[in-house]
């Protein structure tokens, strides 16, 4: 069964450093998402991406965050200058097309900012 894959599974970074989290969505999917989950809290929507542009973003997704689809397979989340409060699990997700299609999630990348 096709799945969303994410790397790295865990990253520790110094505060102020840039971090790039990588995702390979399911191959025929066209809509891509990033979510995050701070330890003990809800899963929160960050951003959705379609047709090489951001289609929606939450208020969490400020200027420190950016997303990119650099080639036909990868989808990345960049945090420009990490803060302690960016420590969280980051989930990538993808969906095939418009309408009531199912969104599938990856296993997550755990980011620890020290």
Partner 1 sequence: DAKTTQPPSMDCAEGRAANLPCNHSTISGNEYVYWYRQIHSQGPQYIIHGLKNNETNEMASLIITEDRKSSTLILPHATLRDTAVYYCIVRAGNTGKLIFGQGTTLQVKP
Provide the minimum distance between the beta carbon of 53 and partner 1 in the complex, in angstroms, as a whole number.
13
Residue spans of beta strands (DSSP E) within 1-114 = 5-7, 10-13, 19-24, 31-37, 43-50, 53-57, 65-68, 75-79, 88-95, 103-105, 109-113
Residue closer to partner 1 by CB (options 81, 101) is 101
In angstroms, the CA 114 to CA 61 distance is 21
| Interaction site with partner 1 (CB under 8 A) | 4, 31, 33, 35, 37, 42-45, 48, 50, 55-56, 89, 91, 93, 95, 98-100, 102-108, 110
Provide the minimum distance between the beta carbon of 90 and partner 1 in the complex, in angstroms, as a whole number.
10
Is residue 4 helix, strand or coil? coil
Provide the minimum distance between the beta carbon of 16 and partner 1 in the complex, in angstroms, as a whole number.
26
Provide the minimum distance between the beta carbon of 34 and partner 1 in the complex, in angstroms, as a whole number.
10
Residue closer to partner 1 by CB (options 75, 91) is 91
In angstroms, the CA 96 to CA 88 distance is 26
């Amino acid at each position: 069964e096709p799945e969303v894959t994410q790397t790295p599974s865990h990253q520790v970074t110094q505060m102020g450093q840039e971090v790039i989290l990588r995702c390979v969505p399911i191959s025929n999917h066209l809509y891509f998402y990033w979510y995050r989950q701070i330890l003990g809290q809800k899963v929160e929507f960050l951003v959705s991406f379609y047709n090489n542009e951001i289609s929606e973003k939450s208020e969490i997704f400020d200027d420190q965050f950016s997303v990119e689809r650099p080639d036909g397979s990868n989808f990345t989340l960049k945090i420009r200058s990490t803060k302690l409060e960016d420590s969280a699990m980051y989930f990538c997700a993808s969906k095939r097309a418009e309408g009531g299609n199912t969104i599938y999630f990856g296993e997550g990348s755990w980011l620890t900012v020290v």
